[in-house]
Structure 1
């Protein structure tokens, strides 16, 4: 996963009016975008890119958000530009070069002379100089040295849990068809964060015992009794403002004492639950692998899923159209080759989704055994699996998950997950907006919340359309 970067763009005189006009006119999605063909460069499409644009020779006149696009001809790619912002006072290149640290001055000079990507150290120095202008400090704080220092204070375990929370939230946004770019607004709090949501703008932390969710039609809601502190954030779709994703996180244990993360996603229209457990793979001799043994944490968690699945299977399907599923086993595991916390990446982890029922068939067939008889999962012996895009599509349209009658019986499972020491993302998608409750038609401020002794971390997400 790439880090944030900076790009020096010299705009030719005959392109200046064209780009400025394109940046001011919204596209079909209501966004202000422009694009310029530039020499090919290396940068992750999922990572932030700051464009330092010169519309007047000899100075930086504009800042913008950039993204590497498709090929624009031999040796060229599109540099997509959005949110173009004109500086109140242009910064001359000579002034910039004179103020950067001497160790990076040569790199900055070369980037200014030729245009293109700044080296990471040169970009950091340019940000340090530019953020001295108060009109630019808010726009550049995400790339500042103080932010990097706050990130460096996070322990490995804290970074892992934050990464899992970000992954679960990002998956919920994908399923709800809301862009994940808003996750890039994350800022590490001055103190150590208690959840990923705490670092997002517009998220508020409440300790007044009011559970912010309209819970009247949400199965399993009572399982969340015992929550005392909440972080709340509402996401709005850029393409359809009627789609809103409200996220609630409740925290009890510190990040370093949490043991993992789960996603519980509920589609209210079709009344279907899907549950995902995240697992990290390690580097094996030939490929990434996941190992476990009898009695370990994974085995215990799998037994919990098996027990609940057996209870759900006893529930008779109502044969209604809304209950139709291609498969009604709600339990899935996502195995990720690498789990690393990078708040500057809007993408999801690479990995494979394995249904619980397929896992057991593989185990019975002896497919999940290593050469010495140990338990091991690899991409090779897993065979078939869901990719992220496959999984998101199936969950978004409720082709998989619990039937309507089964969904009324998940409270016991949710209670077990909440008491397991794992971070839980509870996502509720709603197609029809609820009545206005005084909170934007999204949440009900009336709801009992008591002590959170058994709830180390929980997230509730809902979508209103």
Structure 2
């Protein structure tokens, strides 16, 4: 089922909300950089009583002498006083058309046009729509390809619909892991972001309000410093902190996945190390009525990936310390979402090979498997792993990292999504 079809079905159960902010509200919103990440509005109880949440919200906002529409997800409402309710909106993304009046002109059906005209809000007002009109308007938004990113964002915020395929989820998780390793909180907006026109990138979901002056939809061939593989690059985001910067690239069809068997490459130029991570999903396995385990069953793909996890031998003697110079790690993730997040753990490739060769990997029928319960906590937690990456205690030595730069920049073909996070010192002019 397509994104548009899923949102249409959802809107028929929980109809859309239309909001038109006045000039003062719009100015306050624009002056708050995080306001497009999460916006709250206070309205009388009666104005929000009929609103069913969570649902989609279409907002019209003043921008200079014009207006602009944004698609958001209304996720919660709560009484904040005897008279008023607070409505919470998340992830405001610009869409076409630019105003609710122009949207009305796109409505071809006479009955729908009349219904929309009756429900258009005045400045500062909130109006909820009927199920049929909501579904009709979702169809109009979906017909414009420029709205695809906003609709995917809205879909990702709705429970039961937010699950994506393993590859796209892993890319999104890898981006946030790289940000965490660099010491950046989730929700912080990048200083720069570039998205390739027409391409799908997890970077499109990291910031709520993608400002037109720092989001450039153009050919990724223009991405600086990444010319060798830029034809496959789908996005680039830059975060700055003190005298360092983190550059995250997302790409499709890179040979690095095929060549090295990884999903995330973290290049820490500050410490001179590279860490590479492959994602694997754990499936729930019920042992009996009371006990549940999480299992990953190795297959030929895993064996092929492990066989590819090799780095060149370096003749130079390293002069920096590492707990482990092997850069390859596996992140095992419970497929089920718990408290709006995936629970996971890390093991090194050396530890994984030891697990696979041990009796603990043998199932009751003699098959090989990786059991969450059998590990008994002998693994790295998320915070542990990110701390090791940030400090440079794990990963390649500097001399190995320098050699791998050539590989990263020279390979030109491949077939799976990959995230490359590059942490470096900011050079003085």
Q: Common fold, TM-score beyond 0.5?
A: yes
Q: Secondary structure at the match of 1:202?
A: strand
| Alignment match, 2:233 | 231
Q: What is the Cα-based RMSD across aligned positions, in Å?
A: 6.1
| Alignment match, 2:209 | none
Matched, 1:400 2:394: yes
* TM-score for the superposition, normalised by structure 2: 0.58
Change (3 A) 1:24 1:204: closer
| Alignment match, 1:443 | none
Change (3 A) 1:382 1:214: same
Whole-Å separation in 2 of the counterparts to 1:100 and 1:386: 61
Q: Deviations over 1:294-353 (max 9, x none)?
A: xx2312432444x659x68x98652xxxx455554422112234499xxxxxx9865432
Matched, 1:301 2:308: no
**Higher normalized contact order (CA 8 Å, seq sep 6+, divided by chain length):** 1
1:268 is displaced (CA, Å) by 0.5
| Alignment match, 1:126 | 137
Whole-Å separation in 2 of the counterparts to 1:386 and 1:64: 39
Map 1:132-151 to 2 at 5 A: 140-142=147-149
Map 1:192-341 to 2 at 5 A: 196=201, 202-206=217-221, 212-213=224-225, 229-231=231-233, 233-237=235-239, 243=245, 245=247, 247=249, 249=251, 251=253, 261-285=262-286, 286-292=292-298, 296-305=300-309, 308=311, 317-318=318-319, 323-325=320-322, 327-338=324-335
* TM-score for the superposition, normalised by structure 1: 0.54
Matched, 1:376 2:369: yes
8 Å contact kept, 1:332–1:353 = yes
Q: Which structure's residues are more often strand, by fraction?
A: 2
Whole-Å separation in 2 of the counterparts to 1:291 and 1:412: 35
Matched, 1:353 2:358: no
Matched, 1:35 2:27: no
Whole-Å separation in 2 of the counterparts to 1:331 and 1:9: 49
Picking from 19, 28, 37, the partner of 1:22 is 28
1:381 is displaced (CA, Å) by 2.6
Whole-Å separation in 2 of the counterparts to 1:250 and 1:201: 19
Matched, 1:79 2:84: no
1:124 is displaced (CA, Å) by 4.1
1:374 is displaced (CA, Å) by 1.4
8 Å contact kept, 2:237–2:248 = yes
8 Å contact kept, 1:258–1:421 = no
Picking from 10, 17, 20, the partner of 1:8 is 17
Whole-Å separation in 2 of the counterparts to 1:354 and 1:415: 28
Whole-Å separation in 1 of the counterparts to 2:268 and 2:78: 38
